[in-house]
Structure 1
Amino acid sequence: MRGAPGAAGRGAVARLPGRLAFLPLLLAIGAGLAFGLAAPAAAAHMHVLTEAFIRVLGWLMCPLIFCMLVDGAAALGRNRGLGRIGLAMLGYFGAMSLLSMVAGLLAGWVLEPGIGMASASAGGAALAQPGAGTGAGVVAGYALPHWMHLLPPLQANNLVVLALALPLGLVAGTRARTPFLGAVDRARNILLAAVRIVLWLSPLAAFGAMASAAARAGLASLLPLLRFIFAINLVSVLFVFVVYGGVARLIRLPLLRFIAFLRDELVLVAVTGASLAVLAPLSDKLERLGCPRRLTDIVLPFSYSLNLAGTYLYIAMALVFLAEASAVPLGWHELAVMLGVGLLSTKGAVGVAGSALATLATTAALLHVLPADSVAMLVAIDKTMKCRLLTNVLGHGLACIVLALRDGSLDRDALRSALAVRP
């Protein structure tokens, strides 16, 4: 609803934090790195800043996604023409999931990043030590404030939220405007404003994450994993430019300009390790690109659960890496089993800190071919896997543009205007 009153105001609000946050985020990264190297004992405690930021963000994002889904489902119920979006959306997400999983498995099989590594159990125990306790709320003797344990953390699966919100929205959409939908809309606006306020604290989260990482990560312990880090980043870049680039070419979208347009959101995701942190500003940016709000409110929440190409790439390559490091023989049959199990277990995995590792551990357990402790090998480097989150965010934005074009609601003039100038 590009002509709706206040739309320009919302865009301005979204642009202001992005512009002002870019430089502080970079300064926070540099300060965190220097502090971590100069005073590692003290810097190891700083991870609590990131932990608190993610916990508060998680408390806000769960109800925000619920409200967006209810509102979007109600629009589907009112306008049967929007039902076409659902089928196209599921088809597109399914194709991207399959492509990314296949690409990750084949890349790991060809590049063989885990060949020649030490025993998974021995290496895993050693490498897990620097990250011990991460995510449990206690870091190097420092604990989160007690009240924060009352806030629900971000979960690795939000399909329960989807299942609850969709029928409520569809039923409400079949009736005239109800007080329930009015309350949902007001709650959505309040939560969006709250998220933007929390995002002003992202430099503190970036400082804490970088200081803690610099204090904990020893080069000697990470050397055996550098090949895997290089491989997953290389494959992610290739996936973006080959697969996303192919889709962008089909819809006549300049991919490099699109990436530059989302640079503030990509930087924020890279330093916080939470792609949900950019849900609100990404929605505003997509509206400026010509995607109607009614469509992004439907597509984005589903995309954050079902369209995670970067996460699927990472999990697929990690499974092959762990199998090679554990000396488990891999052939076409084993790869096919990994593909099937991976496609099922990764659905609904949200791109936030720790979710990919949890999903990877679940997938490895379901396969019954990898040592139980092999996933611990990746704990020390899990937070460096920013490529998966960046790939996810680009995929979310591209999906909205593709589906808006498919729906016939994409404003091409707005798209050309937005990409012709600096956002």
Structure 2
Amino acid sequence: MKSSRMTTYILIAMILGIAAGAAVHGYFPAPATQKLFAGYISIGSMVFLRLIKMIIAPLVFSTLVVGIGHMSDAGAVGRVGGKAMLWFVSASLVSLALGLVLVNLFEPGVGVHKAVSGVSSGIDAHAMTLDGFVKHVFPDSAIRPMVDNEILQIVVFSIFFGIACAAMGKKSHVVLEGIEGLSHIILRVTGYVMKLAPLAVFCAMAATIATNGTGILLNYAKFMGEFYFGLVCLWLILIAVGFLLLGPSIARLVSLVREPFLLAFSTASSEAAYPKMLEQLAKFPISRTISSFVLPLGYSFNLDGTMMYCTFASVFIAQAYDIPLTLGMQIAMLLTLMLTSKGVAGVPRASLVVIAATLSQFSLPEEGLLLILGIDTFLDMGRSATNVIGNSLATAVVAKWEGLLVADEETRDMIEEMEVEPA
């Protein structure tokens, strides 16, 4: 019931935010006034996102260490991680291929006839070089990733820490109990923060529509409509595969992730939905041992919505500049994106960085990013929501493969922690 009420509140907040933003955009046509309003109203969403980022690092660290530390041996960690990566790679290939097929089918960039003018997009095309990628994955400090919210680096450190705890057996029990206590405290804090979600959604939508207006949705209706059609197709494919592997219970999983789905969509942030996803997956029920391990990995390696967008946008830009791409070039682009897009969690405007690097590698005009920069926030909403579906399904499938699609004692404790009303 609580989840249903929160979902309703979020939907109402989205509608009211759009209406408020449209009213401001219509009654105050001066861009300076619109920008001033957006600056003030977006403070609400900024506070919420900052609070979410505040708990992400300790939440990922504590849940991941406890999950790995309670596994019987390092072999179990490798087995679960291997199954998760198998799913991640397969889902990424499907997402990239679907984006490639649909952009060639719809040809949204044909007829734009843009000419190269030499204008810079402002996106660093070299942000995902091999050297940069390695530095982004492996931390040189145990503390700095926590401060900078580098999820992938936190995951790497937590895996090593958790494996060490599992290898030490009883000697590490005191440490694991302390970290487990920390995870319950952070989950309680999460419950408090999530009560601000409807306010954050209202502020985010009002600020976006006030500055851009609903007209931007109409101007890019073709590109956005076709991209969202592709996302819906991807959702159906993922749910269909989930039905084959999980059976009719997939309907319950979809129902449970409805709230984090809407939260990610309205705030255009997958991070905002992470704590709620952890709670909802526990209700499925999925053993905390699995969810606390697979879900953080998925945030770095299983960004299905981002995958599809990368191929869709890259080929769209080539079409807009009338640059033909052979089938071989497009397949090479797909494989390149498969590699360069891994581990982009935490990189600001990650998909744009990956696309910029890809455009540079295939001699496509980087300034083409300006064609999609204006509506990237609206597209990011769909990408973030899709990542919620993909990671939830991946966690459930890995739990099914491991025979842990049941609530263990820790999972039940976590549900009780989240459902206790604040004093």
TM-score w.r.t. length of structure 2? 0.79
Q: Which runs of no fewer than 5 residues in structure 1 stay unpaired?
A: 1-14, 129-150, 413-423
Distance 1:60 1:74, change over 3 A: same
State the one-letter code of the partner of 1:384: F
Establish whether residue 296 from structure 1 lines up as the match of residue 291 from structure 2. Answer: yes
State the one-letter code of the partner of 1:195: T
The one of 271, 279, 294 aligned to 2:274: 279
1:354: which partner in 2?
Answer: 349
State the one-letter code of the partner of 1:355: A
2:198: which partner in 1?
Answer: 203
Establish whether residue 58 from structure 1 lines up as the match of residue 68 from structure 2. Answer: no
Equivalent residues in 2 for 1:27-42, closer than 5 Å:
27-40=12-25, 41=34, 42=36
Establish whether residue 215 from structure 1 lines up as the match of residue 200 from structure 2. Answer: no
2:365: which partner in 1?
Answer: 371
The one of 140, 154, 174 aligned to 2:167: 174
Compute the displacement of 1:37 (Å). 2.1
Distance 1:35 1:165, change over 3 A: same
User: Percent same amino acid among aligned pairs?
Assistant: 27
| Cα distance in structure 2, aligned partners of 1:77 and 1:357 | 41
1:135: which partner in 2?
Answer: none
Q: Which runs of no fewer than 5 residues in structure 2 stay unpaired?
A: 26-33, 123-145, 408-423
Compute the displacement of 1:173 (Å). 1.3
Q: Partner of 1:114: helix, strand, or coil?
A: coil
2:378: which partner in 1?
Answer: 384
CA contact (8 A) 1:202 1:272 kept: no
Compute the displacement of 1:347 (Å). 0.7
The one of 369, 394, 404 aligned to 1:409: 404
The one of 76, 97, 103 aligned to 2:98: 103
Moved more, 250-259 or 320-329: 250-259
2:263: which partner in 1?
Answer: 268
Moved more, 343-352 or 170-179: 343-352
CA contact (8 A) 2:265 2:385 kept: yes
Q: Partner of 2:248: helix, strand, or coil?
A: coil
CA contact (8 A) 2:337 2:354 kept: no
1:23: which partner in 2?
Answer: 8
| Cα distance in structure 2, aligned partners of 1:51 and 1:358 | 23
Compute the displacement of 1:375 (Å). 1.5
Compute the displacement of 1:313 (Å). 0.8
Establish whether residue 232 from structure 1 lines up as the match of residue 230 from structure 2. Answer: no
Q: How many residues align?
A: 372
Deviations 1:290-333 (A, max 9, x none): 31111111111111111111111111111111121122211112
Distance 1:121 1:43, change over 3 A: farther
CA contact (8 A) 2:21 2:213 kept: no
2:153: which partner in 1?
Answer: 160
Deviations 1:26-82 (A, max 9, x none): 332233223222223253222333233223322321232122222233234647445
State the one-letter code of the partner of 2:38: A
Compute the displacement of 1:351 (Å). 8.3
State the one-letter code of the partner of 1:211: A
State the one-letter code of the partner of 1:336: I
Compute the displacement of 1:95 (Å). 0.8
